[in-house]
């Protein structure tokens, strides 16, 4: 694993925000992004930032206690969730939180991906579950993801949105794209009234391939 430099981190945050906005995975000031630059420091988006139009002004550097080290704005109120993730999963070096339509619909319906439907879920995401509802920005929301952030790379937030993570922002963003595509296909299957889920054996083979690719812990 390799940490970003400060400049690389800021550039990656701005580029990731643009990609998410262009794909309709974030609108307005929804969501927040972060990436680590050392074991105990990170860059994140400021509260009120429009992710598709980020500049240096809208980025803040903090430590893992949430203390601001650089930047003039307040970090997102949901920084606590990112900090909990990084403390619990040292493999996570970047995180993306957005409110993508199909994924958020599953979160609002309390429908996790209990059985694997697509190969990409087993290779890149893991078992995507719904964390219990908690008020956005609260310590309870941050703690709600803890049971899901070690063996998996994505979690749905009840009545709220989704979070993905990875070894860099490109990987975390790609996983958010995969999550939303999977949620969309699952929705289509539900409307058709039929879905051919993978067997437990097939799902396990995919998971082991994901482990071999370095996507999950051994």
> 14 exposed, middle or buried (CB, 10 Å; 0-12, 13-18, 19+)?
buried
Contact (Cβ atoms closer than 8 angstroms) between residue 69 and residue 63: yes
Q: Position of tokens 């439907």? A: 117
**Cβ proximity of 165 and 192 under 8 Å:** no
Dist CA 66 CA 55 (whole Å) = 21
The residues carrying an active-site annotation are: 78
SS3 at position 31: coil
Query: Quick check: helix, strand or coil at residue 155?
Result: strand
Q: Could you tell me if residue 65 is left (phi over 0), alpha (psi between -120 and 50 degrees) or otherwise beta?
A: alpha
List b or e across 99-116, with b for residues whose CB sees 16 or more CB atoms inside 10 angstroms. Answer: bbebbbebbbeebbbeeb
- Is residue 17 within a helix (H) or strand (E), and if so which, with residue range? helix 6-22
Round to whole Å and give the CA distance between 119 and 213. 14
């Amino acid at each position: 694993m390799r940490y970003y430099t400060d400049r690389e981190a800021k550039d990656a945050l701005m580029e990731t925000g643009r990609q998410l906005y262009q794909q309709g995975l974030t609108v307005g000031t929804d969501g927040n992004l972060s990436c680590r630059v050392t074991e105990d420091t990170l860059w994140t988006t400021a509260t009120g930032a429009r992710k598709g139009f980020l500049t240096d002004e809208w980025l803040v550097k903090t430590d893992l206690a949430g203390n601001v080290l650089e930047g003039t704005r307040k970090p997102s109120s949901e920084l606590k969730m990112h900090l909990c993730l990084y403390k619990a999963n040292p493999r996570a070096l970047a995180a993306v939180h957005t409110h993508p339509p199909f994924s958020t619909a599953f979160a609002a319906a309390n429908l996790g991906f209990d059985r694997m439907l697509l190969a990409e879920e087993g290779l890149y995401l893991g078992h995507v579950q719904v964390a219990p509802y908690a008020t956005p920005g609260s310590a309870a929301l941050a703690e709600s993801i803890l049971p899901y952030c070690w063996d998996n790379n994505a979690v749905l937030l009840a009545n709220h949105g989704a979070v993905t993570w990875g070894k860099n922002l490109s990987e975390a963003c790609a996983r958010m794209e995969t999550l939303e595509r999977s949620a969309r296909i699952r929705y289509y299957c539900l409307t058709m009234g039929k879905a051919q889920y993978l067997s437990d054996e097939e799902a396990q083979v995919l998971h082991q391939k994901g482990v071999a690719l370095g996507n999950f812990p051994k």
